[in-house]
Amino acid sequence: MIMSNGRRAYQIVINVILLLVALVMILPLVLLFMSSITDENILIANGYSFFPEKFSLYAYRYILQNYITIFRAYGITILVTLIGTSASIVLVTMLAYPLSLKELPGKRFLNFYVLFTMLFNGGLVPSYIMWTNSFHIKNTIWAYVLPNSFLKTY
């Protein structure tokens, strides 16, 4: 298939743009890996670099020595994500179904209430005080799950 000059120029521009997007996505990962194999003191003194001055595997040694703590942290993250996502889906579904009904009494008010509370909330400090004092969930797994489920839903 023979391409016209305009089509060829278009393909070149698109390929250059996609190459730049790929580099923007890949280079931070490369920098992160290079910093993980750089000596900590060199990293603190000189900052991040794509070319490490002094090679060190201390970060990986630390991870292998403290694997229980790291696996526990990942376990909590996965648990909070699964429970929070499930709770959010249930709550959103319970709100979306009634709002999909054409003849729902008070539908305009409910739509306004949902939209208004999505745009304006009470703030971080009042929310923290409410969740910790009223619901007594401080220092529990529910302190991660419940506020995020309700704040992202509405």
**pLDDT recorded at residue 153:** 45
State how far the Cα of 38 lies from the Cα of 33, in Å rounded to an integer: 9
The one-digit pLDDT tens for each residue of the chain (154 residues) are: 566 888 889 999 999 999 999 999 999 999 999 999 999 888 888 888 898 888 889 989 999 999 999 999 999 999 988 988 888 888 889 988 888 888 889 888 988 888 887 787 777 778 778 888 888 888 888 887 777 666 554 4
**pLDDT recorded at residue 132:** 80
In the chain, where the domains are located: 1-65, 67-154
The three state secondary structure string of the chain is: CCCCHHHHHHHHHHHHHHHHHHHHHHHHHHHHHHHHCECHHHHHHHCCCCCCCCECCHHHHHHHHCHHHHHHHHHHHHHHHHHHHHHHHHHHHHHHHHHHCCCCCCHHHHHHHHHHHHHCCCCHHHHHHHHHHHCCCCCCCHHHHHHHHHHHHC
The model carries a pTM of 0.59
**pLDDT recorded at residue 87:** 84
Ramachandran assignment for 106, one of left (phi > 0), alpha (psi -120 to 50 degrees), beta (any other) = left
